[in-house]
Structure 1
Amino acid sequence: MSVDAAQALEPYVAGMTWGWTGVRGTWATAAASESLRAMSEHGVNWTAIAYAALQDTAQSTEVRFREAPTVTDEEIVWAIREAKALGLEVCLKPVVNVADGTWRAYIGFFDEDVPGEPTWGDWFASYRDFILHAARIAETEGCEMLCIGCEMVRADAREAEWRDLIAAVRAVYSGVVTYNCDKYQENRLAWWDAVDVVTSSGYYPIDRWDAELDRIEKAVAATGKPFFFMEAGCPSRAGSPDRPNDWSLPGAPSGDAQLRYYEAMFAACDARPWVRGFMLWDWPPALYAAEDAAQNDDYCPYGKPAGNFLREAYRLRAGQARMPQQS
């Protein structure tokens, strides 16, 4: 490792995920530039530039990252440079999605290879090409961090394959390497020692933050690695604070519900100095109009009460010295 991961996260990861899902033609536009600028005005000092490549089904073995609808290399480079010009540190976050709508956590194959059936080896070979391609872009463009996977619950158990992939990534990329495990999985990965930073998706019900942080703290302490939430947030929708991971939950738009969740999440994590911050979910490449914010029920806090809270919360926290983390 060529960087000190804990130092790289100082003083605080005041982050936001930008660009999802990375649809070709929606980046490197005037609207995308304005979106990044508006995001930068909310106290952020990091952004995760996130985009998806597709495989056809959860049992397909080809990740088609060079094809539409995935953004082009030129668009990725544009986004990195645009973010850096705004003074932001960048985590490049390539993610695999399933074209038929199946959640990526269900991508999986037989534990042992069976002739004529798709295999983990075939899938990891294609996924490796995808991630190494991103790693080379991240190295060339000076991205401070690379996230090598997101919420791959069934794949998490393939320890040898992940270790091989991480070793290959380190051969071409010199920055901080992390993996974004899914909620409730922080204590289940056997290969945290291979990455520099532990990160997870913190979509925990509003009344569960303290209990889940108790559990996560033990898991993080066992790794000896710094930690932050690579994803966290809540739709601005009635009922969402109780099910923040459910982007399709029925409910009326509610900026107050989102604000209540932000306040509870930040308060709980502020009491845990080992939580180095958030890369909140999420900020789209084309923003809705500010006057329409009250009717928008998605995760983005732009123009909503949570956005005003976030601007001040991030500016305060990023300006404060954090207590040292075990290393």
Structure 2
Amino acid sequence: MGVLQMSCSSQFVGKINGVSFVASRDRATEAHIAPVKKIHAGHAAVMPFGFIREVNSPEIIFDTDRQWFGETRVGAKQYIDLLHGNGIRVMLKPQIWIWRGVFTGELRMESEEDWERLEASYEDFILTYASLAEETGVEIFCIGTELEGFVSARPDYWKALIGMIRETYSGKLTYAANWDEFGRTPFWNTLDYIGIDAYFPLSEAQTPSVEELKEGWKPWKEKIASFSETVDRPVLFTEFGYRSMDYTAKKPWLVSRGEEKVNLVGQANAKKALFESFWEEDWFAGGFVWKWFTNHERSGGPDDNRFTPQNKPAQEVISTFYRIYRQANAE
């Protein structure tokens, strides 16, 4: 079934159709929100950041005057208030950045003392933003992103932390597990959504077709659906996206800059295949496109091979599906 021929079935009602609204140096304005509304997005992820110097450092540095405005508590609040004022619901998703872009899943301490220091620092970090989520009436709060090393080493801490977050914040909770992590995450039954950053490998083709990609999704989809049924929680793609480059679905998590040529068709096909594979499933809650920059006019474009769909054919694919949701929700 083609994207443009889809009817407004009841399964689309209530789907979370979001963008990951990237933190900027500056305050967000109505002009920055207008393109989000134009693609019919009903949700946006706001992402303040904390920074760690090394993969074994226990201190999280956050909410400082050296950070970009959108990475701080004040900035996140301004983004949330503006999005809410435009009728866009929000997932607040505080994230950790390790210097030089080291994968956060590798975060591990070298001593019990350092683990305890990290736990105290993360508690301070995440409860700061849980209180902001409650203050601003955020609809979803994400308690962490791709932190498998931390989670697997300290499961009791995480379960206790979720309890503290619940005492602070009264909305829906999720955690953003990496695509190869979610099956081992131990606390889904204490959250409201199974959150997955959906960078699953699907195809080794240079420009995979929509049908090839949908075939690539089948084994992963079966696993995800079975897991959702077992845990009795809906699945939310806390991030989903593809680079506009050759072999985009071979290793969709790649972020390095010395890479393949621009391929706009591959990115658009990958988006279509994901929507056609998941958006009709009752157990699937929706997701957040990775990623969407505030300065729309200067983002993406036909010569860009990065993740953003802005000003590329993939943007129209997203707009088409999100429009279907809007129409279905209004009926």
2:326 and 2:158 map into 1 onto residues whose CA distance is: 32
Pairing of 1:174-193 with structure 2 (within 5 A): 174-193=170-189
2:157 is matched with which residue?
161
Pairing of 1:206-217 with structure 2 (within 5 A): 206-207=202-203, 208-217=216-225
Q: How far did 1:243 drift? A: 1.8
Is residue 2:83 matched to residue 1:87? no
Is residue 2:40 matched to residue 1:43? yes
Q: Is the 8 A contact 1:186 1:219 kept in 2?
A: no
Closer/same/farther in 2, CA of residues 48 and 122 from structure 1, 3 Å limit: same
Q: Is the 8 A contact 1:206 1:261 kept in 2?
A: no
Q: Deviations over 1:37-60 (max 9, x none)?
A: 212211111111112210111111
Q: Structure 1-normalised TM-score?
A: 0.86
2:72 is matched with which residue?
72
| Count of aligned pairs | 301
Q: Deviations over 1:180-222 (max 9, x none)?
A: 1111222111211111111111111234311111111122111
Q: How far did 1:170 drift? A: 1.1
Q: Is the 8 A contact 1:77 1:137 kept in 2?
A: yes
2:75 and 2:239 map into 1 onto residues whose CA distance is: 23
Q: Is the 8 A contact 1:241 1:261 kept in 2?
A: yes
Is residue 2:17 matched to residue 1:14? yes
Please list every run of 5 or more consecutive structure 1 residues that lacks an aligned counterpart in the other structure.
1-8, 322-327
1:172 is matched with which residue?
168
1:202 is matched with which residue?
198
Q: Deviations over 1:290-311 (max 9, x none)?
A: 7x71012221112111111111
Is residue 2:319 matched to residue 1:304? no
Is residue 2:57 matched to residue 1:60? yes
Q: Is the 8 A contact 1:95 1:149 kept in 2?
A: yes
Is residue 2:260 matched to residue 1:264? no
1:227 is matched with which residue?
235
Residue 40 of structure 2 aligns with an amino acid whose one-letter code is G
2:50 and 2:56 map into 1 onto residues whose CA distance is: 15
1:212 and 1:29 map into 2 onto residues whose CA distance is: 37
1:239 is matched with which residue?
247
Q: How far did 1:145 drift? A: 0.8
1:287 and 1:139 map into 2 onto residues whose CA distance is: 29
Q: Is the 8 A contact 1:293 1:302 kept in 2?
A: yes
Q: Is the 8 A contact 2:28 2:79 kept in 1?
A: no
Residue 258 of structure 1 aligns with an amino acid whose one-letter code is Q
Is residue 2:121 matched to residue 1:123? no
Closer/same/farther in 2, CA of residues 318 and 278 from structure 1, 3 Å limit: farther
Q: SS of the residue aligned with 2:286? A: strand
| More helix by percentage | 2
Q: How far did 1:319 drift? A: 3.7
Deviates more, 1:96-105 or 1:132-141: 96-105
Q: Is the 8 A contact 1:230 1:279 kept in 2?
A: yes
Q: Deviations over 1:206-257 (max 9, x none)?
A: 3431111111112211111121101111011122122211122611222111
Q: Is the 8 A contact 1:206 1:265 kept in 2?
A: no
Residue 89 of structure 2 aligns with an amino acid whose one-letter code is E
1:132 and 1:160 map into 2 onto residues whose CA distance is: 17
Please list every run of 5 or more consecutive structure 2 residues that lacks an aligned counterpart in the other structure.
1-11, 204-215
Q: Deviations over 1:62-96 (max 9, x none)?
A: 11112222533221111001111221110101011
Q: Is the 8 A contact 2:292 2:308 kept in 1?
A: yes
CA RMSD of aligned residues (A): 2.0
Identity in percent: 22
Q: Structure 2-normalised TM-score?
A: 0.85
Is residue 2:273 matched to residue 1:273? no
